[in-house]
Amino acid sequence: MTHSTDAQVALVTGAAQGLGFQIASCLFNAGYRVVLTDVNADAAQAAARSLDPEGENAIACELNIAKKADFETALKVALTQFGSLHVLVNNAAVTKATPVMDISLDEFNEVVNINLGGVFVGCQVIGQYMAEQGYGRIINMASLAGQNGGTSTGAHYAASKGGILTLTKIFAKELASRGVTVNAIAPGPIDSPMVKALVPEERLPTLLGAIPVGQLGDGDFIGDMVVQFARPEAYFTTGTTWDVNGGLYMR
């Protein structure tokens, strides 16, 4: 792992824990300077310190993805600290498993606004900056739930993740001629705190039984996929969704 002064800079949303932190760690270990953002500022700070106690190559920034101004602030922080920003990973999301017929309109709007609206605003604000620079890599974290209607998650979560697949194509078309690629990764059930929170221990064997490969996915492998998408050599891949779901959904 080397962090030279001209190392590329990545910003990850929802990076304080779980898959977001694993993605940030993989980018950091691949030599990227990383801005770890999260709605929980203290947790983001602790996560950044665990990667880089000196704070030279990993820093934290509070970011609520439902607020456009927060993305604008995070961009300023990245530029002030590191001088540029090359990679955006839209990972943050809220998950609720309310049964479909019990979801209030307010709850539906809230989840879709945060998850889908957050990716939209992130692509818009950071994508604009990248287009002006003539280079960028945006990776959106979608989900198997957005492809098959969801299994353990709520309808609003699944709908928001399905929308992310479409937004990925929209921004890929918009930004392709400016050196910016936009891709998505759609994980199935990953061995992560989120899945463990949604799936009770007694239901785990049933879940594993339904996955053709018979086990949960690996978060660090997802992180490695993000690193591949983030590379300059990935210029010929845009508007795609990479499926990582153990064979639960094939196309």
Alpha-helical regions (H) of the chain: 18-29, 41-51, 68-82, 105-133, 145-148, 155-175, 193-198, 204-210, 219-230
Structural domain of 114: 9-244
Residue 4 domain flag: no
Residue 235 domain flag: yes
Hey, which residues does 216 pair with through a beta bridge?
Answer: none
Hey, which residues does 230 pair with through a beta bridge?
Answer: none
Q: What CATH number is given to the structural domain containing 112? A: 3.40.50.720
pTM, two decimal places: 0.96
From residue 182, alpha-carbon distances to 38, 167, 185 in Å are: 21, 9, 11
Q: How many domains does the chain have?
A: 1
Q: Which residues contact 239 (CB under 8 A, 6 or more apart)?
A: 168, 169, 172, 173, 176, 182, 183
Whether 249 sits among the annotated catalytic residues: the reply is: no
Residue 2 domain flag: no
Residue-by-residue pLDDT tens, the chain, 251 positions: 678 768 999 999 999 999 999 999 999 999 999 999 999 999 999 999 999 999 999 999 999 999 999 999 999 999 999 999 999 999 999 999 899 999 999 999 999 999 999 999 999 999 999 999 999 999 999 999 999 998 778 999 999 999 999 999 999 999 999 999 999 999 999 998 777 777 888 988 998 999 999 999 999 999 999 999 999 999 999 999 999 999 999 99
Residue 115 domain flag: yes
Of the candidates 32, 129, 157, 249, the residue annotated as catalytic is 157
